[in-house]
Amino acid sequence: MHIHIGATSEGKPVKITASRKLIFESIVKESLSRKGMDMIGIVDCASPGVLRDIRSMIRRGELYQLSDGGLLHRERLTVIPASEVETAEKNGGTSHHIAYFPTVGAISEFSNIMRKHITNIELSSQRASLTASELFNVVQATGGVFIPAHVFTPHKSLYGNAGRRLSGIFGEKAEDIIAIELGLSADTDIADHLEELRNITFLSNSDAHSIPKIAREYNVIRMEKPGFREFILALHRRGGRKVVKNVGMDPFLGRYHRTFCLKCDRVQEGTPPVLKCEYCGAKGKDIVRGVIDRIIDIGDYDKPRHPAHRPPYSYQIPLMFVPGITDRVLKYLLSKFGTEMAILNTVSEKDIKSALPVEIARNLIDARNGKLKMKPGGGGHHGKVKKRDKQYIQLSLDL
C-alpha cells in the first residue's frame, strides 16, 4: 500500500529517488502478473502527470472506478490512489504522511488544494507549507484517509524526527488516527512499546522505490472484496474486517534498525538505547539514531505489550535477499510457480526441493520460515543475510 512512481508515461520525473521504470501502468502490471497482489496503494497519484496516466488507462478500458472506491484492473487488481506529503512542525521536525482516496475525482481535488502549499505539485513527497495537523484537515475535507508513514525512521517521520507522541503533533485529532505505517526498520514488537498505539492498526508496507521492491512488505487483510471502503473498515476493525497479518523483513535487515556513527562509519551493537557512539563518543548530528534505540528511549514499556486485536507479524525475507536466488533463478521460479506471493507462501516445501539445488532450496525454505541469520543495518545501510559457505554461482548456472 506504499508504492512510488519514478516517472510519468511522458518521461517526466515524479519521485526523484525512485526508478524511472516505476510508471503507473508498469506498477499495475507488475503487481498483478508477477507479484500476485490483490490490492495496492500508489502514493504519487496527486501529481498531475500521474493523473493524466490514470485517466488514459480509464479511457482505454484498463481501469474502471469501483462504486465502493478504488480502481479495478482486469477484474483482479484494485488500485487505491494515494499521495505522500512531507510536513514540517514549528519546531523544525519533518514527517511524511500518506493520504488514501476513494476516487480519481477526490484525489484531483486534493491535488488542486495542495498546489497552494507545495512549490512543485508534479513531484512526489514534496514539503508542504503545512503542519501534520493541518494536512490532516485537508485530507479529511477532500474525502481521504490520513495515515502517518514509516513513523519510526530517523529522517522525516513522526516519532523519528517530528515529536515524541501523536498527541504532541495532532492534539485532540490524535484520537482520529486509525492506522500508522511501521516502516522497514520496525515491527509490532518495537511499536508496541508505546501505549498510545494500543488502539491503532499497523500497516507493513514496502515504500517501494523500484519494481523489485514492490511487496517486499505487505499486509494480509480480511475483507469482503478489495476496495477503498473495505480497506477503511479493516483499518477501523469493523464488521469482521481487519488486518490479520503483517508481513515484512526482520527489522535487522532495515536500513535504520541500529544507531550508526557517521564518524566511525560503524553500526552500534550495544544494548539499546545507544544514543552516542560506543567507539568514539560522537553524538547529536554525528550519529543516525536507530529505530530500536529511539523507541526504547521514548517507550512507555520495558517490553512490548500487544493489545488483543494485534495480528501476528510474520518475518519474510524477500526472494532477492535469499542467498543463491539470482535474477536467473528467480525468472526460473516464476516460470514454474507463477508469482512471488506463490513462491513465498503457497508452493509446498516438497515442490521447492524438487525445483532447486539442495543448498538454494534450503535457503529459500529457511527464508520463508524466518530462520536465516542476519547482521543488523543502520545509517541507511541494509542489514545482511549471513551467507553460508556454499558457493551459489555454479548452482544457479546449473538451472
> Is 281 inside a domain boundary?
no
Same domain for 199 and 346: no
Is there a single domain that holds both residue 224 and residue 340?
Answer: no
Q: What is the pLDDT of residues 87-119, one digit of tens each?
A: 999 988 999 999 999 999 999 999 999 999 999
* Cα dihedral 184, 190, 196, 202 sign: positive
Residue 2 included in any domain? no
Amino acid at 215: A
Which H helix or E strand runs over 292?
A: helix 291-298
Give the C-alpha separation, 189 to 173, whole Å. 25
Alpha carbon 10 to its chain's center:
26
Tell me whether residue 46 is in a domain.
yes
Cα 185-190-196 angle, rounded to 5 deg: 120
Q: List CB contacts of 60: < 8 A, sequence separation 6 or more.
A: none
For residue range 343-394, what is the model confidence (pLDDT) as tens digits? 998 999 999 999 999 999 999 998 888 777 766 666 666 666 665 444 444 4
In a domain, 210, yes or no: yes
Domain CATH for 214:
3.20.20
Asked if the structure places residue 299 within a domain, the reply is no
Instruction: Note whether 106 and 239 are same-domain residues.
Output: yes
Do 99 and 214 lie in a common domain?
Answer: yes
Do residue 238 and residue 371 come from a single domain? no
Q: Which residues contact 97 (CB under 8 A, 6 or more apart)?
A: 84, 85, 87, 132, 135, 136, 146, 147, 148, 149
- The label of the residue with cell 513522526 reads 158
CB 300 within 8 A of CB 193: yes
Which DSSP letter does residue 68 get? T
Amino acid identity, residue 267? V
Residue with cell 515491527: 187
At residue 318, φ and ψ (nearest 5 deg) are -60, 150
Domain membership flag for residue 134: yes
Q: Are residues 343 and 217 in the same domain?
A: no
Among residues 250, 277, 298, the one where a domain terminates is 250
Letter string b/e over residues 114-136, b meaning 16 or more CB atoms within 10 A of that residue's CB = beebbeebbbbbbebebbbbebb
**pLDDT tens-digit readout, 317-346:** 888 888 889 889 999 999 999 999 999 989
Could you tell me if residue 181 is inside a domain? yes
pLDDT of residue 348: 95
pLDDT over 60 at 224, yes or no: yes
Residue 106 lies in a domain: yes
Tell me what pLDDT residue 383 has.
Answer: 65
Are 244 and 328 found together in one domain? no
* Interval 271-317: pLDDT, tens: 999 999 999 999 999 999 999 999 999 999 999 999 999 999 988 88
E runs forming strands in 182-261? 201-203, 218-222, 242-248, 260-261
- Whether residue 253 is predicted with pLDDT greater than 80 in this model: the reply is no
Are 88 and 234 members of one domain?
Answer: yes
Which amino acid is residue 43, in one-letter code?
A: V
What is the span of the domain harbouring residue 192?
A: 24-250
Q: Indicate whether 108 and 211 sit together in one domain.
A: yes
Single out the residue in 192, 220, 250 at which a domain terminates. 250
Question: Which residue, of 207, 233, 250, is where some domain finishes?
Answer: 250
What pLDDT is attached to residue 398? 52
For 313-326, give one letter per residue: b (16+ CB within 10 A) or e.
Answer: bbbbbbbebbbbbb
Rg (CA), the chain: 21
> How many domains would you assign to the chain?
2
| 337 plus 215 within the same structural domain | no
367: DSSP letter: H
Phi/psi region, residue 69 (left: phi>0; alpha: psi -120 to 50; beta: rest), is: left
Same domain as 343, residue 201:
no
Q: What is the pTM of this model?
A: 0.90
Question: Do 209 and 315 meet the contact criterion of CB atoms below 8 Å apart?
Answer: no
343 and 242 in a single domain? The answer is no
